[in-house]
């Protein structure tokens, strides 16, 4: 198998030999869990823009490659969560570009039988500030939800930085969510995104204590159960997710957003399980699809055999500062040939160190996720060369 020298701690290099890629057979039956991957965007590396200066121009995104990746996920039986934080929403992707992304993805879904897609609606065109009112937050949510529904899209109601800044009490969250959910055409997925993903969302639902915040969120869900398909919880704490899952009203789904403990949470226990809406499914899509196929066939051992080696990779990609996980997701797509470069919207390819990327390479290989080791090594070498590491 091909080898290369990878950096390790202490400024040294260590020889690494890749393994044969693992075969991930396509599932031969429908999944018994809803499985949605939050998909990344592919930048156009030749766009004449300064990556740290917005707003983005249309040429900043390679639309063909971006849409092609959605088709890749659909082909594997996974749904797509569009224009979410994995697509760098709020970290390079603004509302105008998000809406264009949603439009293109919804159009592409029409040509793919069974393609599942839900779209992120938030308030990111409303900058948080001391003068922002709850009425302005409501209007911002309504604008985005209306634009998405006009295109025929289903809503994922994203957490709002503006609401987190403007709210004075849990009552303000009730007021906003009651109004927005009441006006939607279809039941939505709520997204509780923890502060480890976005520090501006600390204290969401009116409390810094997650259990007190959970009480508020559950109260909102109970009051609007007919308009809530489920809730995606991204707190990276399996115990909190399980507690909340057991308290959900009947018919309201828990979508795990726990990129540290997803295998255990999807498998579930005697009292229930979590469906999945995960950023890591973008990076491990073939393994996720194959594992979910085994679970649907009643083969729990096979499910865990496939997913267990992916968990160290996911925990590495999502390590603190967690908000920079998008870099690892895009790097995986580059290593596996889904895009021809490692350039990201907003220059976010620089958000992780070369040591981080080298360890990602090792863990991806150990999980059998480097589909073509020769290609992956060639691409890893090119990235290493930009850091002065020559092989």
Structure tokens at 203: 């204290």
Give residue-wise pLDDT tens across range 352-369. 999 999 999 999 999 999
- 18 contacts 62 by C-beta, under 8 angstroms: no
Confidence of residue 216 (pLDDT cuts 50, 70, 90): very high
CA angle 33, 279, 9 (to 5 degrees): 130
Report how far residue 31's alpha carbon sits from residue 126's, in angstroms, rounded to the nearest whole number: 38
Strand pairing category for 35-38 and 275-278: parallel
Structure tokens at 237: 């704490």
pLDDT at 49: 82
Report how far residue 58's alpha carbon sits from residue 43's, in angstroms, rounded to the nearest whole number: 10
Confidence of residue 58 (pLDDT cuts 50, 70, 90): low
Domains of the chain: 24-352 (3.20.20.70)
Helix 325-335 crosses helix 354-366 at what angle (to 10 degrees)? 60
Q: How does the average pLDDT of the chain come out, rounded?
A: 96
Give residue-wise pLDDT tens across range 9-57. 999 999 999 999 999 998 888 999 999 999 999 999 998 888 777 666 6
| Whole-structure pTM value | 0.96
Confidence of residue 293 (pLDDT cuts 50, 70, 90): very high
Give residue-wise pLDDT tens across range 117-165. 999 999 999 999 899 999 999 999 999 999 999 999 999 999 999 999 9
- 6 contacts 358 by C-beta, under 8 angstroms: yes
Strand pairing category for 253-256 and 79-82: unpaired
pLDDT at 359: 98
How far, in whole angstroms, is CA 228 from its chain's centroid? 20
């Amino acid at each position: 198998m091909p080898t290369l020298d990878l950096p390790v701690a202490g400024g040294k290099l260590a020889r690494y030999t890749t393994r044969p890629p693992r075969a991930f057979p396509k599932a031969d039956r429908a999944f018994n869990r809803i499985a949605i991957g939050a998909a990344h965007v592919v930048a156009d590396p030749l766009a004449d823009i300064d990556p740290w200066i917005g707003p983005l121009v249309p040429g900043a995104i390679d639309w063909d490659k971006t849409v092609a990746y959605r088709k890749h996920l659909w082909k594997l039986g996974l749904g797509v969560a569009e224009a979410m934080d994995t697509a760098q929403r709020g970290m390079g992707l603004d509302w105008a570009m998000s809406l264009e992304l949603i439009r293109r993805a919804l159009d592409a879904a029409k040509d793919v039988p069974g393609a599942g897609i839900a779209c992120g609606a938030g308030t990111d065109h409303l900058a948080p500030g001391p003068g922002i009112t709850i009425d302005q937050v409501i209007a911002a949510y309504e604008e985005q939800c209306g634009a998405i529904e006009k295109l025929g899209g289903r809503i994922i109601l994203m957490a709002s930085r503006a609401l987190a800044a403007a709210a004075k009490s849990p009552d303000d969250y009730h007021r906003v969510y009651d109004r927005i959910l009441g006006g939607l055409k279809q039941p939505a997925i709520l997204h509780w995104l923890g502060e480890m993903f976005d520090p501006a969302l600390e204290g969401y639902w009116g409390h810094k204590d997650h259990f007190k915040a959970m009480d508020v969120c559950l109260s909102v869900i109970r009051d609007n159960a007919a308009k809530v398909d489920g809730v995606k919880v991204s707190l990276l704490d399996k115990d909190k997710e399980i507690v909340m899952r057991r308290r959900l009203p009947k018919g309201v789904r828990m979508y795990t957003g726990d990129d540290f403990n997803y295998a255990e949470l999807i498998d579930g226990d005697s009292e229930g399980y979590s469906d999945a809406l995960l950023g890591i499914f973008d990076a491990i899509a073939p393994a996720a699809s194959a594992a979910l196929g085994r679970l649907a066939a009643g083969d729990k051992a096979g499910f865990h055999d496939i997913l267990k080696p992916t968990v160290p990779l996911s925990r590495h990609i999502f390590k603190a500062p967690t908000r920079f996980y998008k870099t690892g997701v895009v790097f995986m797509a580059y290593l596996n040939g889904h895009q021809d470069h490692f350039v990201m919207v907003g220059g976010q390819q620089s958000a992780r160190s070369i040591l981080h990327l080298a360890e990602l390479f090792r863990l991806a290989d150990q999980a059998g996720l480097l589909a073509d080791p020769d290609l992956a090594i060639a691409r890893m070498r090119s990235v290493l060369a930009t850091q002065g590491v020559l092989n």
